[in-house]
Structures are given as structure tokens and as C-alpha cells.
Amino acid sequence: MLTLNPMNSSFNKLLTFKTLITASMIIVFSIHPLLMERVDALSDTKQLVLDAWTLVNEGFYDPEKFEEIQWKRIRQKTLQKQIETTEEAYSAIEDMLRPLEDPYTRILRPKDYELLKSSNFGSEINGVGLQLGEDDDKKIKVISTLGGSPAEEAGIVSGDFIEKVDGISSKELGLANTASKLRGNSGTKVLVEISSESGEIREVDLERRSVDLRPVRTKRLRDDSHTIGYLRITQFSESVPKKVEEALQELKEKEVEGLILDLRNNSGGLVSSGIAVADSLLSQKPVVETQNRNGIKDAIISQKETSFDGPMVTLVNKGTASASEILAGSLQDNDRSILMGEKTYGKGLIQSLKSLGEDSGIAITVASYLTPKGNNIQGQGMTPDKLLDLPDASEYGSADDKWVKNAELFLESLLENEELAFQNSELSNDGIQS
């Protein structure tokens, strides 16, 4: 607070009057350009651009980036452009967001917005079944393929790169537009140029269709001595936590002794769903820490009750990303489950989905997450406790899936060791009771 030395009343009145005049001049001259901006923004198309800028300005996780790229100046220059159609507004927003260098903060045109909402809340999706990301060189990379999708049937695998879509370079399109061009009505076709990690280039003609996501799949694995439960989660949509609860209850009724949790090629989805599943498997343990734009880390602690507390193995691969990495990290860091497989993808950023206008939306990176032990997954991925150098099965969880067989053998050895320890304990107690 500023304190003035006492002076005579006339001088104080004069000083107050001068201060008011000066303040008024500052206000008039400083807000005048903003007023002009506001007049321009009154058109629906420019208002859309301004709304997008405001949402990002209020939520983006790294505000230091704003000073680096002169974020307010970008708004001013963007609003000075001729923006007459909705499509021009979307393009202007894309140009405005590009300096942030965050592919996950992006405009979602009506078709993409509806599709993203349906994939988060529904059980079907129209397209070719690819989950995409960007590598360090801004190349569009396949995170995973959806089971039973056209992309999987064409032999596209995690780690492949999308070079062109219908003859247009993916570098020119960017992540969001590449994904958008791959989506479409069932029955329509799209030509995709793929390159492998080894550099081999090929073209595939994919026919879009409705893919049944079936986010939760389960079965019982039995041998002569043990019964193991197998639970596969393909993505984290809104319905998944409830489906997982039902699946775990079903497996408990079948008296499974251990659990194989399969998160291979699960590229994420709703973070809240991933956390809810972790809550079903952990008892009063930290699940994840989030770090927002204020640098605040909020640890989320699981509830006391669990749906399954037996021994576990969790399968992960390079297609395991985002919300599935949160789940896998919480299980690993709390010594709740052994991780087995390949190093995971490494997406540690959280997006918030906001409505923009009537039909479109905008995804904004609002936070990063850390595992309970403080490990930052972004760009790093997670290293399994036991690496598997085995070919992928044609169908996950099938009889020829060597990954599942390895996990099953590991669990059986754990259960046998537990039985042996229990028997030795009984023998020891019998000896005491002489």
C-alpha cells in the first residue's frame, strides 16, 4: 500500500485532480486500441477467434511461453486479418496456436469435435483406427492401432510414420489435420503413405468403417494348478471404470488368484477414467501428481477399498500412452504390479476439452503429470521391470500371445512362492505348539 505525507487540503485536492486527469488519459489512450479490437471481434467469426485465444490464455499449462512468443501481439495481429467465414476462423486459430509448439493444443472442427466426444463417451468410432502423435522432429507417428480396425488389418504398427494422406504431406497438414483427413464416413477410402522405423516406405489404401472399440475385455486362464484372470483395456472412455469393476467382480466370482492387466496399444483417453481404474486396484496409495500452470502439484490418493488385491502383472508396449501410463505408473511405483513388455510412448500432458461456438471445440494442454515417485513421463516413457523382446500376437490375449504366456508363467511362480511361504509358516507354527 502507498502512503502519502500529510499536506494542506488545497494541495491534496489539486494533486487528486491531477492524478485523476492523468489516470483518465492513461486509461483512454491504453484501452482505445482494445476498444477497436472489440468492435472487430463483434462479428461471429472474429468472436470465435477471440474466444479461442481467451480459453487458451486462461488454461494453457505453460504461461511463460506466452511472453516468449508475444501471445497478446499474436491476438492483435490475428484479429486484424480478414476473417469472414467459419473456415477462415478455424484456419486463423490454427495459425495463432502454432507458435505454442504444442500439437495437443488444437482447434477441433465440428466433425473432429463430435468424433472425439463420441470416442470418449461412446463405443464406436468411424475411421481407419489409428492413434497418432508427434515425435521430436514433428513427424506424425503411429502411437497405436485399434484392434480389428482397417489400419491393424493393413499391418500398420506402433512406431510407423504417416508420410502422406491422399497425396498431401503430413508435415504440411500437422497432427490435427492428418488425423482429421483419416476420419470419414464408413465405406469411403483414403490413401496413406507409411514409412517404418527402418525407413521402408509403402502405400496402403484403407477403407474407413465403424470400429467397435470394446474398451474392456476379460477372460479366465486356467492350468492344472492355478486360475489367472486376463483383463484388457483398449482405451479409457467414460464407461470404462464401471466396466472394469464389473469385470473384476466377474473374475473374483471365478476365483482367480492373479491378474494380467493388458494395456498394450492403449493410447489413453479420459484421464479421470484411468485414475478411477487405479483406484479400484490400489488401497490408500498415491495415484498421480498433476502440475498446472501455477506449479502446484496435487497428489490424488486412492480410496481404501479395492476391487482386486491379488498379485498382478501389467503388460505395456510402445503404444501404451497418456492415461494408460498414469495407471501403469501408479501400479509400478506403489509396488502393486510388475510391468512387463516394452518402454511406453511417453505422453505426460493432460488436455481439457472446451466447447467453442455451437459445434466446434478446442483441446488445451492444462497440466502435466508425474508418477507417485515424481517421474516425468513426457517424452521419456516408462521402462518395464521385465523387458520382453517378443513379436506381437495377431490377436492380443489369444492362445498364440507369447506376452500373455510370459505374464502367466511369472504369476504362477509368484503364487507358488506364496504357497511355499505359507506352508513353511504353518510348519513353523506347528513347531512352536509342541
Note the pLDDT of residue 18. 38
Query: For 190-194, 323-327, 383-387, 394-398, which range has the lowest pLDDT when averaged over its residues?
Result: 394-398
- pLDDT one-digit tens code per residue, 267-284: 888 999 999 999 999 999
- pLDDT one-digit tens code per residue, 226-258: 899 999 999 898 899 999 999 999 999 999 999
195 DSSP β-pair partners: 161, 201
375 and 236, same structural domain? yes
Identify the band that residue 409 occupies on the pLDDT scale cut at 50, 70 and 90.
Answer: very high
List the domain range (segments joined by +) for residue 204. Answer: 124-212
Identify the band that residue 124 occupies on the pLDDT scale cut at 50, 70 and 90.
Answer: low
Mean pLDDT of the region 258-266:
95
Number of structural domains the chain divides into: 3
Note the pLDDT of residue 307. 94
Given 333, 337, 354, 401, the catalytic residue: 333
Annotated active-site residue 144? The verdict is no
61 and 204, same structural domain? no
Q: What average pLDDT does the chain have?
A: 84
Query: In CATH, what number is assigned to the domain containing residue 161?
Result: 2.30.42.10
Task: Tell me whether residue 252 is in a domain.
Answer: yes
Annotated active-site residue 333? The verdict is yes
Note the pLDDT of residue 118. 67
223 and 203, same structural domain? no
Note the pLDDT of residue 240. 94
Given 144, 302, 322, 368, the catalytic residue: 322
Identify the band that residue 16 occupies on the pLDDT scale cut at 50, 70 and 90.
Answer: very low
Note the pLDDT of residue 337. 97
368 and 257, same structural domain? yes
Note the pLDDT of residue 138. 80
Annotated active-site residue 254? The verdict is no
Given 141, 285, 318, 347, the catalytic residue: 347
238 and 183, same structural domain? no
Note the pLDDT of residue 427. 47
Mean pLDDT of the region 197-207:
92
Identify the band that residue 159 occupies on the pLDDT scale cut at 50, 70 and 90.
Answer: confident
